[in-house]
């Protein structure tokens, strides 16, 4: 077997363990409350040592928010893949479908996760910080769509920030409705509200 095969197998195994630890943590947070659970509690519930748990997640917040780590790049990639004749605002809206997929896969779990994040100041702040980190990638993707090698403009940055705010407002309304409202329609409405000046 070559090194790439071993690395791939190791990465798959690591991702599986990380996913399992994250699920155990999420269930414990839902049951006990985020602030009431320590890293030691998480390790014990998962049946691993504290140091093993910390090898997979550096903080309690990471156990909840790690699912969001790659989303910014996925949205940026989806944005670059949109047709060149599509305006930036429409392209941003369509690129955010990659985020919405997670809510459609398991709406009940997505609703519980959204509520946990919204109700926990440390998680809410950390999620916003992560999303703030998506802005450069989205602005760069918008600039790349022009086919020129110029840097992202202020307009690109503003559109990226506004798109993320539309996403957050729609998710908040969706959560407030206990998941009864259509998240896709909410995001469409949020984007339309800014498009109609």
Q: Is pLDDT larger for residue 196 or for residue 58?
A: 58
Is there a single domain that holds both residue 129 and residue 184?
yes
Is there a single domain that holds both residue 79 and residue 173?
yes
Predicted pLDDT of residue 174: 97
Which sign does the torsion angle of CA 187, 60, 120, 158 carry?
negative
Is there a single domain that holds both residue 50 and residue 76?
no
Whole-angstrom CA distances from 138 to 37, 47, 73, 127, 195 are: 35, 39, 8, 17, 18
Predicted pLDDT of residue 193: 95
Predicted pLDDT of residue 1: 45
Is there a single domain that holds both residue 82 and residue 157?
yes
Is there a single domain that holds both residue 57 and residue 100?
no
Is there a single domain that holds both residue 95 and residue 135?
yes
Q: How many structural domains does the chain have?
A: 2
Domain of residue 20 covers 3-64
* The pLDDT of residue 7 is above 70: no
Predicted pLDDT of residue 110: 92
The kind and range of the H/E element at 84 are: none
Angle between helix axes 88-95 and 183-195 (nearest 10 degrees) is 160
* The pLDDT of residue 2 is above 70: no
Considering 64, 80, 97, which residue would you say is the last residue of a domain?
Answer: 64
Q: What is the CATH number of the domain that holds 29?
A: 1.10.10.60
Is there a single domain that holds both residue 58 and residue 78?
no
* The pLDDT of residue 139 is above 60: yes
Kindly report the average pLDDT of the chain as a whole number.
90
Predicted pLDDT of residue 86: 94
d(CA 4, CA 94): 34
Question: pLDDT per residue over 21-36, tens digit each?
Answer: 988 998 999 899 999 9
Is there a single domain that holds both residue 98 and residue 178?
yes
CA 169 to chain centre: 14
Predicted pLDDT of residue 83: 92
Is there a single domain that holds both residue 55 and residue 131?
no
* The pLDDT of residue 13 is above 90: no
Q: What is the CATH number of the domain that holds 104?
A: 1.10.357.10
State mean pLDDT over 132-149: 91
| CB within 8 Å of 27: residues ≥ 6 apart | none
* The pLDDT of residue 4 is above 70: no
Is there a single domain that holds both residue 44 and residue 86?
no
* The pLDDT of residue 196 is above 70: no
Is there a single domain that holds both residue 17 and residue 84?
no
Is there a single domain that holds both residue 48 and residue 93?
no
């Amino acid at each position: 077997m070559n090194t790439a095969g071993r690395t791939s197998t190791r990465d798959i195994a690591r991702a599986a363990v990380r996913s399992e630890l994250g699920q155990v943590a999420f269930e414990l947070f839902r049951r006990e409350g985020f602030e009431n659970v320590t890293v030691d509690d998480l390790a014990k519930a998962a049946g691993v040592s504290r140091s093993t748990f910390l090898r997979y997640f550096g903080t309690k917040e990471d156990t909840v928010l790690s699912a969001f780590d790659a989303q910014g790049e996925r949205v940026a990639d989806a944005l670059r893949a949109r047709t060149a004749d599509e305006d930036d605002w429409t392209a941003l809206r369509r690129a955010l479908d990659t985020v919405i997929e997670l809510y459609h896969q398991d709406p009940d779990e997505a609703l519980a996760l959204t509520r946990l994040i919204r109700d926990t100041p440390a998680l809410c702040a950390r999620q916003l910080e992560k999303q703030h980190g998506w802005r450069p990638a989205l602005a760069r993707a918008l600039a790349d769509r022009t086919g020129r090698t110029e840097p992202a403009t202020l307009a690109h940055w503003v559109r990226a920030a506004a798109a993320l705010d539309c996403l957050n407002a729609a998710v908040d309304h969706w959560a407030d409705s206990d998941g009864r409202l259509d998240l896709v329609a909410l995001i469409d409405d949020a984007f339309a509200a800014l498009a109609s000046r």
